Amino acid sequence: MKREGLRAIAPKRFKPQTTDSKHDLRVSPNLLQSGVNQPTGKGEVIVGDITYLALRGGGFCYLACFQDKYTRRIVAWQLSNRMTAQLVTDALGQALRRKLIRRGAIIHTDRGSQYAAVEYRRLLHINGFRQSMSRKGNCYDNAQAESFFSRFKAELVENGVFESFEDAKSEVFSYIEGYYNRIRLHSGIGYRSPLEFERYLENKIRSRESFVC
């Protein structure tokens, strides 16, 4: 084939789309555009996104995460075999049970149909959250969430695959709850881990209150 100048035709590797913005559902404005509404404390602005994880045998599962924009903490995550609105409502519900989001907080995501679904928006409304969405085709509007998944895949997945859904869930739990939130240092928060930074903020508040008293 080389001698004859021929080249084999190989199928392209399938890469699932995690953002379906071609829908007729209402799109919310970008409340973080031009640097406005930036957080000054934890629980004020939460960013969310979905990514896919490859499984051995050619299948995929989907990871939805919500991250505190100020402290970098992953406040909630869920893994599912299906990329539905239930995936993101379950993840947001986890953050609510943990009481890690303030009432009136901005919840920012892309324009995916999961985030435009009625049941997800109902959950936002009931809890007094403000919905924000990226501009069309602008991944930079949700750069922090994209950055987390980039680090996640570089540090954990490394272009590999998980043996099964259960294996993926176990590895994701260990990475997020055992490493990322507790140990991984971030230059943007003074080379502290997210949980260490939260403790630092709490100590500052207690010191200020003691001084006032």
Write out the residue range of the structural domain in which residue 92 sits: 33-164
The reply to whether 140 falls in a domain is yes
Low-confidence ranges of the chain (pLDDT < 70): 7-23, 210-213
The reply to whether 19 falls in a domain is no
The reply to whether 195 falls in a domain is no
The reply to whether 169 falls in a domain is no
The reply to whether 199 falls in a domain is no
The reply to whether 23 falls in a domain is no
pLDDT at 182: 98
The reply to whether 91 falls in a domain is yes
pLDDT at 213: 57
Number of domains in the chain: 1
Q: What is the CATH number of the domain that holds 156?
A: 3.30.420.10
The reply to whether 149 falls in a domain is yes
pLDDT at 15: 63
In order, the DSSP letters of the chain are -TTTT-----PPPP--------SSS-----TTGGGTT--SSTTSEEEEEEEEEEBTTS-EEEEEEEEETTT--EEEEEEESS-SHHHHHHHHHHHHHTT-S-TT-EEEE-S-HHHHSHHHHHHHHHTT-EEEEPPTT-GGGGHHHHHHHHHHIIIIITT--BSSHHHHHHHHHIIIIIIITTT--BGGGTSB-HHHHHHHHHHHHHHHHHHH-
